[in-house]
Amino acid sequence: MWLCSALLLLSTVLCIPRTVSGLGSSCSAPLGSGTASSTDPYWLETIKHQGTSPFNSDPNSYQIFRNVKDFGAKGDGVTDDTAAIKLVLDNLASAFIDIRVHSAAMSSGTRCGGGSCAESTYEHLLLARFATDSKTVVSLRQSTYLVSSPINTYYYTEMIGDAKNPPSLLARSNFSGFAVIDADPYIPNGWGAQWFANQDNFFRSVRNLIIDMRQIPSRNSAIGLHWQVAQATSLVNVVVEMSTASGTNHQGKQRNGDYLHELNLLTFRAGKIGIQVGNQQFTVRNLIINNANVAVSAIWNWGFTFQGVTINNCQIGFDLNVGGATQAKQGVGSETIIDAVVTNTPVFVRSSVASNGTLPYSLVLNNIQLTNVPTAVGVGNGGYHPRRSAGRIFGKARPQYADYATSQIISVKSQGAKGDGRTDDTAAIQNVFNQYAGCKIIFFDAGVYYVTDTITIPAGTQIVGEAWTVILGGGSNFQSQTNPRVVVQAGTPGSQGIMEISGILFSTAGPAPGAIVLEWNVHDPSGQQGAAGLWDTHIRSLGSGEVRVVLPENTAPTDKVYLAKGTNMQEANCPAGSVNTPCQAAFLGIHLTSGSSAYFEGTWVWTADHDFDAIGSPQTSIFTGRGILSESAGPVWFIGTSEHASLYQYNLVNAQNHYIGFAQTENPYYQPVPAAPAPYNSSSTYHDPTFSDSVNMAWAMNVQSSSNIILFGAGFYTFYQHYGQTCLTNNSCQTHIFNIDSASSVTVYSVSTVGSTYQLSVGQNGVVSQTDNQDGFQSTFTAWSN
């Protein structure tokens, strides 16, 4: 693939003068390789844990890091550890609730929801769904934990196993329940009702874990993971072991919900189905499936990008339910498979319906290697074999520093930062970077670190957060639209070096109409692709990093009156349909400057469209000017999403050598009242696109004077027109959504749109109409290039 090869080589051919990163003032030598011995425990288990949840009702006693063995788990593979592991999570659920009513149902571990509880308890459970003041890291050290019923997860929970020696969750032979790990449980007798709204099921992660179902009889239906989630979620380094018996009913993962999230380094062994998926859009990297009957069963989607797939000794690689051209008969909309190696599998891709001269769905295959695969693509018999080209799309998993010793990690709280959401931590954080960049991995203990001026992260820095540590910009420095100011600067202009940031949430305390939340200047060193990047790190604009939900004094528990502490941008301040100046959350989410390179995996740039912590999640009108602006000459890899900014979600200007996949966007629900760019003003300094009476809503993606841009999968959506949805009946919510100027060279694959008359425009003139590509609820076109 020509562009793949260009991306692979680019970091060695750029000739831009750069400043190589230096070391902090306390450093005598660069960090170098990890010094942990093979018998040392993973550093995350032994580092001093000082994380706090500052807006929790009892932040001093609330426990963030929780080792399941401290809660009674034995990990001997014989004792049933289900109750102990659930106790960790049940205590979490109980801690969510900051109310003056009895909550024994939660603290005892009894689940309630979906109308099955008393009014007051149920309402407060709804609050618990979105509570951002009770984050938890559940640690599973190297052991085998026997479980007999599902482990149900909650918001803001990371389940992390030993990265050096992943532990096992061993399902016992009499296991009873839907899945070993369940991210969105079905409520018994609830007629399909679940704990969470899948579109809002954010902030979950499972890493370094083996799920072993081989003790469950093969005739029993068994699922390893029910992962029905939305943005800011990830599975990393997870292995699912299933029965190899003939006729087995085991399956590794069921995904049936909405919105994009990230899967990376997943292995499924044996079973009836490796993974079964049905979703709006999705990204999967580094998927390995061995000895399953069906490797991937796809029920429905709008768009799905697989990057790096290995299938061995299966009967069918991808089994696709296709042909549903209406919403009522929604099937697979588009499937993009990149860099796949398939061996000893009779059929690589099987469609449920033959094309017969018309397109029942969109299929893109790139760089496929088949060995002993008689049918590449077909309906039972026949098919064709895609050609394998040289090179692969680059990818890099989230750094976990498994080989590093605790002595190589420095905590910002140990160096004086408070992370209490109130103290100005600007100087303390900058001092940590100035002293230890380049010779220590910098650990941001869980908390909310309030900063009032630009924090500069030197090139050469490696940062790890804990349960999405919040860096919260606010104050007078971020108030001017005409003179915007950076909250966090990743490298100075022209700098070169490693920059690894994982598990951080960058946000603003509103109003902050002049805040550029993250400016990315750093370029990776020559020969070190992907050395400068973000993993599971997000930009969130809703006015606060954390929210504490309380009942006012003298208010009965059943009264539906709730206040939010710690933010100026809740539904009471910014109700849907209002245009309030104090509800301007940021000027720009992320700015990639011309000399930078970047690898962003699982990054979510989100302006809140609803009140994250209130009953019913009411809609809000909160404003961010711009999503992601890239002027980078590359190489750049984007795997993520940007939503609800006023002018655009992605704007590529004079950009070069970008790989983007899968890109998912939503435009603001309030537009065109006010029409773009309001309530912001266009800025030529920041290369804003032009707007007019006919182009009066935000662009999902706008490309100007750019080259070598490849888009492998996208979902560009406009679900509302000033909070109304009647426009969806004829996809007239906005006219144009994706624009490329005639000077740019762009290749596009598998783009799905909702609500837009034109799917693609050139020079703001529509060239691809959605009416020609209806494919269920969405419209999908397969390929376009200029």
CATH of the domain at 460: 2.160.20.10
Residue 8 is assigned to a structural domain of this protein = no
Which amino acid is residue 461, in one-letter code? T
Which amino acid is residue 275, in one-letter code? I
Q: Do residues 106 and 125 make contact, with C-beta atoms less than 8 angstroms apart?
A: yes
pLDDT of 105 > 60? The answer is no
Q: End-to-end CA distance of the chain: give it in Å, rounded.
A: 16
How far is 194 from 196, CA to CA, in rounded Å?
6
Say yes or no: 520 and 565 in one domain.
yes
**Residue 238, pLDDT score:** 94
Say yes or no: 363 and 496 in one domain.
no
How far is 258 from 194, CA to CA, in rounded Å?
14
pLDDT of 382 > 50? The answer is no
Q: Do residues 667 and 700 make contact, with C-beta atoms less than 8 angstroms apart?
A: yes
Mean of the per-residue pLDDT values for the chain?
85
**Residue 168, pLDDT score:** 96
% of the chain surpassing 70 pLDDT: 84
**Residue 2, pLDDT score:** 33
Residue 561 is assigned to a structural domain of this protein = yes
Using DSSP's 3-state secondary structure scheme, residue 63 falls into coil
Mark which of 382, 407, 429 sits at the end of a domain: 382
**Residue 319, pLDDT score:** 95
* Tens-digit pLDDT profile for residues 709-740: 999 999 999 999 999 999 999 999 999 999 99
pLDDT of 19 > 70? The answer is no
Cβ neighbourhood burial of 63 (10 Å; 0-12, 13-18, 19+): middle
CA neighbor of 276 nearest in space, from 230, 236, 222: 222
Mark which of 365, 382, 399 sits at the end of a domain: 382
Say yes or no: 583 and 514 in one domain.
yes
**Residue 194, pLDDT score:** 84
**Residue 378, pLDDT score:** 77
How far is 28 from 485, CA to CA, in rounded Å?
33
User: How long is the chain?
Assistant: 786
pLDDT of 55 > 90? The answer is no
**Residue 251, pLDDT score:** 87
Say yes or no: 692 and 579 in one domain.
no
As a whole number, mean pLDDT of residues 339-359 equals: 88
State the angle between helix axes of 119-130 and 82-96 in degrees (0 to 180), rounded to the nearest 10: 90
Residue 80 is assigned to a structural domain of this protein = no
**Residue 359, pLDDT score:** 64
Q: Do residues 202 and 230 make contact, with C-beta atoms less than 8 angstroms apart?
A: yes
How far is 85 from 235, CA to CA, in rounded Å?
19
**Residue 384, pLDDT score:** 45
192 or 464, which is more confident: 464
647 or 258, which is more confident: 647
Q: HEC string of 529-551?
A: CCCEEEECCEEEECCCCCCEEEC
**Residue 262, pLDDT score:** 55
**Residue 258, pLDDT score:** 45
**Residue 323, pLDDT score:** 76
Q: Do residues 716 and 729 make contact, with C-beta atoms less than 8 angstroms apart?
A: no
Say yes or no: 473 and 605 in one domain.
yes
How far is 359 from 115, CA to CA, in rounded Å?
43
As a whole number, mean pLDDT of residues 743-763 equals: 96
Say yes or no: 742 and 785 in one domain.
yes
**Residue 420, pLDDT score:** 93
As a whole number, mean pLDDT of residues 319-337 equals: 85
Say yes or no: 667 and 764 in one domain.
yes
Say yes or no: 585 and 572 in one domain.
yes
pLDDT-derived band of residue 613, with 50, 70 and 90 as boundaries? low
Helix (H) or strand (E) holding 485: strand 485-490
CB atoms under 10 Å from CB of 480, counted, come to: 13
pLDDT-derived band of residue 329, with 50, 70 and 90 as boundaries? confident
As a whole number, mean pLDDT of residues 655-680 equals: 96
Q: Do residues 375 and 381 make contact, with C-beta atoms less than 8 angstroms apart?
A: yes
Say yes or no: 485 and 634 in one domain.
yes
Say yes or no: 455 and 579 in one domain.
yes
Residue 594 is assigned to a structural domain of this protein = yes
Distance of CA 153 to the CA centre of its chain: 17
pLDDT of 784 > 80? The answer is yes
**Which structure tokens are listed for 510?**
């509103």
As a whole number, mean pLDDT of residues 134-142 equals: 85
CB atoms under 10 Å from CB of 38, counted, come to: 7
pLDDT-derived band of residue 9, with 50, 70 and 90 as boundaries? very low
CA neighbor of 336 nearest in space, from 309, 313, 296, 307: 307
pLDDT of 268 > 90? The answer is no
* Tens-digit pLDDT profile for residues 502-543: 999 999 988 999 999 999 999 999 999 999 999 999 998 764
How far is 102 from 118, CA to CA, in rounded Å?
11
As a whole number, mean pLDDT of residues 763-770 equals: 96
Residue 3 is assigned to a structural domain of this protein = no
**Residue 256, pLDDT score:** 53
pLDDT of 638 > 90? The answer is yes
Q: What is the pTM of this model?
A: 0.91
How far is 515 from 512, CA to CA, in rounded Å?
5
Q: Do residues 489 and 517 make contact, with C-beta atoms less than 8 angstroms apart?
A: no
Say yes or no: 444 and 468 in one domain.
yes
Residue 394 is assigned to a structural domain of this protein = no
409 or 281, which is more confident: 409
**Residue 629, pLDDT score:** 98
As a whole number, mean pLDDT of residues 590-605 equals: 96
Domain holding 750, by residue range, is 650-786
**Residue 133, pLDDT score:** 62
Q: Provide the number of structural domains found in the chain.
A: 3
Say yes or no: 682 and 562 in one domain.
no
Residue 356 is assigned to a structural domain of this protein = yes
How far is 181 from 253, CA to CA, in rounded Å?
10
**Residue 561, pLDDT score:** 24
Q: Do residues 765 and 320 make contact, with C-beta atoms less than 8 angstroms apart?
A: no
pLDDT-derived band of residue 291, with 50, 70 and 90 as boundaries? very high
Residue 431 is assigned to a structural domain of this protein = no
**Residue 263, pLDDT score:** 66
* Tens-digit pLDDT profile for residues 417-427: 999 999 999 99
**Residue 349, pLDDT score:** 95
95 or 704, which is more confident: 704
**Residue 754, pLDDT score:** 96
**Residue 282, pLDDT score:** 84
As a whole number, mean pLDDT of residues 278-306 equals: 91
**Residue 253, pLDDT score:** 66
